[in-house]
Structure 1
């Protein structure tokens, strides 16, 4: 059996009892490490709490070795641990499809993810539109398709949850031409970095979108949701550029232009 188990958002204790029972009976347990991180628990703490050795599964291992993992699952129980909920990333949907192709039995154990925990901001979940991902820009690569989705949601009076880029075990450009790979230090996008990019797109498209979304529009920054150090700030986009919410993980919400009175009231406690 191949199990994909959600770990939740905070620390090792956020796992469900069902998920923990499965982990403790599995022959091998993989910890996916490239779509997100568990905020308050490191590898050793997880291993001590779960009572087993964890095999760190980076993008390279999963993309190149998934067939080997699924072959193992034909003969024994294998667990694949995912921060948040297993269906929070398309990568894990693909794993389930691959398992079905190989006729490997598969079971999913759900948990909390940022997609529903964002409700801690007071913004009502049924008022959210399409979720977007904001990637890190480089000097030569500045994709802005995420902005079109933000505008589309805004026009329909819907909120937009922005998932911010993380870079874990990314190879350096130089190492791509070498046999021995070298990796860049881990990097996690902050709400201020994400807002800078949004404002840059706004500036370049000002004539088209100034009446819909502008630097004075409301934004909500969230950090380490689900942990004891959770932090939320509500302010304008121009103010968010200067906000420091501390360590990862961060998320950003661009609320729709019209808030429900309960949303307005709840957000007051987070206003700068």
Structure 2
């Protein structure tokens, strides 16, 4: 049993750390029930607004109307392709572009973080096109590549490329100089330095960049599927908007948001598995 003075000093010593944890949201306990309550409150507010007739169905359809359209698309009873076909087409475009962006942007970002020549050559075009909205260069992509699948995937690829490259470049600077010097003093080669020191230090930033890139890919999906698409969630939403079918539009928006949220949760789980030390300094 610890002495009384030590037992009395322990709470005083740990109190500031506990207050800091509460301030930045690191205290123990899951936010799952808070999130469930928030979603339930939003659904209840949506139902209340539409049931009371405060907003016309043309502008905001009721949850029942949206659920009915979801059931019809899910069972193939809608006057359109089934929902799974739209979802499969969109998933193929987004994930294909995302994988291609990971395979190219991450090595380029690592090279920019390691070499001033690579940073000097690649930083200007990257920073130039990064703030451009996809719709700004969509006409040019159509002129260059036509209206097949290539422009759709390329548009999503470009939206994913910049955050991945910048995250990898930023992550390369996360390695402590002491770690690099220790590895060099032990005779590590440039490849070993990258593999065993710099890359593990950059991995948390790269994973955050991957989460951001997936979100950008789904954000660009509707613009990409404007290019003469016959299937896809974005095409379904755009086609419904032409006929003022706001119930289908809202249903498509909810599906896109739900799928993107599911991918973000998956990336968070991968991040916790690969970098469990993140945020536990």
Instruction: Identify the structure with the greater helix proportion.
Output: 2
Taking structure 2 as the reference length, what is the TM-score of the superposition? 0.22
Instruction: Identify the structure with the greater strand proportion.
Output: 1
Taking structure 1 as the reference length, what is the TM-score of the superposition? 0.22
Higher Cα radius of gyration: 2
